[in-house]
Amino acid sequence: MPGPGAYWYGEEEKDAVMEVMESGYLFRYGSENDPKFLHKVSTLESEFASYCGANHALATSSGTSSLLVSLIALDLKPGDEVIVPAYTFVATYSTCIFAGLVPVLTEIDESLSMDPEDIEHRITPRTKAIIPVHMLGNPCNMDRIMEIARKHNLKVLEDSCQATGASYKGRKVGTIGDIGAFSLNVFKTINSGDGGLVVTNDQKLYETAFGVHDQGHKPNRFGVEVGARSVLGLNFRMNEITGAAGLAQLRKLDQIVAVLREKKNKLKSLISGAEGFKFRVLNDPEGDAATLCTIVFDTRELAVKVSKALGSKTIDQSGWHVYANMEHVLGHLKEVGQPHTKGSYPKTDDILSRSMNISIGVVDGGLGAGWGININSTDAEIEAAAKQFTEVCK
């Protein structure tokens, strides 16, 4: 049950991966003088940077790696506090924790992303960064978040893992704050099996992130390095096979988003007459990656009734992405003196208990989006889904 890119795996991905196998160069670095070396990873980086309108992109082994590399590159110090939403994937929290930082949770609003009104209440003298998470394919309210970040001198890392292809007021997500992290896992807009990307406009940040992801080396290991490495790194590199699949998928991204938007608009217009719910607030309807359609019901009773009748779940019951369901994170929050019980974020609990996700492109029961349509659904299938939804809302 994957994302739209996986529905569209085809000859392009297969040929690109086979070319790499035949070249004999599977590592991201190869002999520059050998025409057989295909530079798939570095081509993915340059094409993704230009797709995003960013100065730099760095390929990594996963979205989680992208977040961790970004946090380390931002030069945050152990004990620094980082503001994160109470509704996100566990990696947003775990990467902060492994970087020695303290995740401080905020409420979400009816866009199902970070509530700007709650951010300032969470700021202390130790707060050093904010991680807005562009949940479910649509951007956060970046104008407000950037205003607060500037006022308090906070770094901004955009967790764009669920929003490849989305934009905010004409700018691609990930390029508005200091640095942005993307995922290429199978549930995302496009994928390479696993993999990730980091984007930034800041040369220094890029060089540091590169070093962190590759044992302290300078970008592409050009130049003299032994004795001149300024950062200590690890290994979060992408390999050429992954790069080849990711590049073939990137070249389908515009088409994927265009098709999803068309199918989502169709479904939305067919169900908008039903009563008892609103669509979630979109901070930029034009910039929606359209991977999901989120319904916020007026009451919990209706949300439970409808989602059950469709064989789905309300978001609070979906298992993943909900702070209250992450016992391992709550245990850690307890140790560092942060709110750590279910019910600590009542606005988030209320919204998630009344909401359900309908799949448009990302079909993922773990996100509470096990029911809906997919990127290959026909008009007749979309009409049938809309009819079923409208019936059970009565």
Binding mask 55-74 for ligand PLP (x = CB under 6 A): -------xxx----------
* Helix, strand, coil distribution of the chain in percent, nearest 5: 45, 15, 40
Rounded Cα distance, 171 and 255, in Å: 18
Decide whether 276 or 365 has the Cβ nearer to ligand PLP.
365
| Minimum distance, C-beta of residue 102 to ligand PLP, in the bound complex (Å) | 18
Binding mask 123-142 for ligand PLP (x = CB under 6 A): ----------x---------
Rounded Cα distance, 55 and 208, in Å: 14
Rounded Cα distance, 318 and 312, in Å: 9
**Active-site residue, from 40, 128, 172, 188:** 188
Number of residues forming the site for ligand PLP (CB under 6 A) = 15
Q: Which amino acid, 376? A: N
Rounded Cα distance, 277 and 234, in Å: 47
Candidate residues 88, 106, 111, 318; the one interacting with ligand PLP per rule CB under 6 A: 88
Q: Could you count the other beta carbons within 10 Å of the beta carbon of residue 151?
A: 10
Q: Which amino acid, 250? A: L
Residue carrying the six token digits 């409808």: 306
| Minimum distance, C-beta of residue 271 to ligand PLP, in the bound complex (Å) | 25
**DSSP class of 163:** -
Q: Which amino acid, 374? A: N
Q: Does 352 bind ligand PLP (CB under 6 A)?
A: no
Q: Are 356 and 306 in contact (CB under 8 A)?
A: yes
| Minimum distance, C-beta of residue 174 to ligand PLP, in the bound complex (Å) | 12
Decide whether 39 or 188 has the Cβ nearer to ligand PLP.
188
Closest CA to 128 of 147, 106, 101, 107: 101
Taking CB positions, which residue lies at the least distance from ligand PLP? 63
Q: Could you count the other beta carbons within 10 Å of the beta carbon of residue 350?
A: 13
Burial class, 309, CB count within 10 angstroms (exposed 0-12 / middle 13-18 / buried 19+): middle
Q: Are 324 and 350 in contact (CB under 8 A)?
A: no
- What φ, ψ does residue 389 adopt, rounded to 5°? -60, -45
Q: Which range binds ligand PLP by CB under 6 A, 86-94, 100-108, 146-154, 291-299?
A: 86-94
| Minimum distance, C-beta of residue 292 to ligand PLP, in the bound complex (Å) | 12
| Minimum distance, C-beta of residue 67 to ligand PLP, in the bound complex (Å) | 6
Binding mask 144-183 for ligand PLP (x = CB under 6 A): ---------------x-xx--------------------x
State whether residue 52 is helix, strand or coil.
Answer: helix
Candidate residues 52, 91, 250, 358; the one interacting with ligand PLP per rule CB under 6 A: 91
| Minimum distance, C-beta of residue 125 to ligand PLP, in the bound complex (Å) | 28
Decide whether 192 or 200 has the Cβ nearer to ligand PLP.
192
Residues in the chain, total: 394
Binding mask 285-324 for ligand PLP (x = CB under 6 A): ----------------------------------------
Q: Does 196 bind ligand PLP (CB under 6 A)?
A: yes
- 188 as an active site residue: the answer is yes
Q: Interface with ligand PLP by CB under 6 A: which residues?
A: 62-64, 88-89, 91-92, 133, 159, 161-162, 183, 185, 194, 196
By annotation, the residues acting in catalysis are 188
